[in-house]
Amino acid sequence: MPIYDYECENCGRFEKMQRISEEPLKECPNCHGQVHRMISKNVGIVFKGSGFYKTDSQERAKDKARMINRERQKDNEAILDRDVKSYVNQSESTTQKIQEASS
């Protein structure tokens, strides 16, 4: 559950843990004065659930891209070593990994 920051016109700032679906407080639980919700500092919270699948798959795509970059790096190192045989082997294994990652 995220914590929201409120400001009461009498008591000042306080925090309240609320469900996302809950209505924001309109009145202070302490003095029943008027409160307003501050802009949450918990914007970065990662919500788990079906609605966030898009974020998940983007993360996975980034992981794949990172993995492929690492493999390409190995290809390049093999070229620098002028070791043709190991370059061919490395290149074939990279191709295979890319195919696996994009399937």
Binders of Zn ion in range 43-102 (CB under 5 A): none
Does the footprint of Zn ion cover residue 6 (CB under 5 A)?
no
Binders of Zn ion in range 11-50 (CB under 5 A): 11, 28, 30-31, 33
Residue nearest to Zn ion (CB): 28
C-beta contacts of 33-40 below 8 A and 24+ residues apart: 33/8, 33/9, 34/8, 34/9, 35/6, 35/7, 35/8, 35/9, 36/6, 36/7, 37/4, 37/5, 37/6, 38/4, 38/5, 38/6, 38/7, 38/13, 39/5, 40/2, 40/4, 40/5
Does the footprint of Zn ion cover residue 8 (CB under 5 A)?
yes
Q: Which residues bind Zn ion (CB under 5 A)?
A: 8, 10-11, 28, 30-31, 33
